[in-house]
């Protein structure tokens, strides 16, 4: 399929509280808003769009499937690569974000930490562990 060569165009998250989640991505994570209306907010995330869509409006785009908001249980995790996980965690904490875990060195060569948005979507931040050097676990 040719589309797979172009990368991921958009991630769409179904949310109950559009205002709260929009504020999180705009004000806490500092993502650039590309579009917004009464049903959705779209943010730029490198070459991918992050579409935050009110769960009530989702039926129109996924019919005949049913839409449910993320958050009842973790069904996926979205990962972002950062230069410095520890510094990013400190910044997130200053912005009022509670970490689920980490920072912690993983056996697959990444240092990671995880948090959720107000709708319960799980996000991971990760960086390569330089030259296999380890860090102490902080808050895991």
Domain range list for the chain: 1-69, 72-140
Give the model's pLDDT for residue 31: 96
CATH for 1-69?
A: 3.10.180.10
Look at 70 and 94; give whichever has higher pLDDT: 94
Pick the CATH number of 72-140 from 3.40.718.10, 3.40.50.720, 3.40.50.1370, 3.10.180.10: 3.10.180.10
Distance between alpha carbon 49 and the CA centroid of its chain, in Å? 12
Give the model's pLDDT for residue 138: 47
- Which helix (H) or strand (E) segment holds residue 94: the answer is helix 85-94
Token reading at 86: 């520890």
The reported pTM is 0.80
Residues 6+ apart with CB under 8 A from 118: 15, 17, 20, 21, 24
Do 72-140 and 1-69 fall under one CATH topology?
yes
């Amino acid at each position: 399929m040719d589309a797979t060569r172009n990368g991921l165009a958009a991630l769409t998250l179904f949310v109950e509280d559009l205002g709260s989640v929009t504020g999180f991505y705009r004000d806490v994570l500092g993502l650039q808003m590309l579009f917004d209306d009464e049903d959705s907010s779209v943010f730029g995330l490198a070459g991918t769009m992050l579409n935050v869509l009110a769960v009530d409006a989702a039926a129109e785009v996924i019919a005949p499937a049913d839409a449910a908001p993320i958050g009842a249980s973790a069904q996926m995790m979205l990962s972002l690569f950062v230069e410095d996980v520890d510094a990013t965690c400190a910044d997130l904490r200053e912005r009022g974000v509670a970490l689920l875990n980490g920072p912690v060195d993983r056996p697959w060569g990444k240092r990671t930490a995880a948090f959720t948005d107000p709708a319960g979507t799980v996000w991971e931040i990760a960086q390569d562990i330089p030259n296999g050097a380890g860090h102490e676990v902080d808050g895991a």
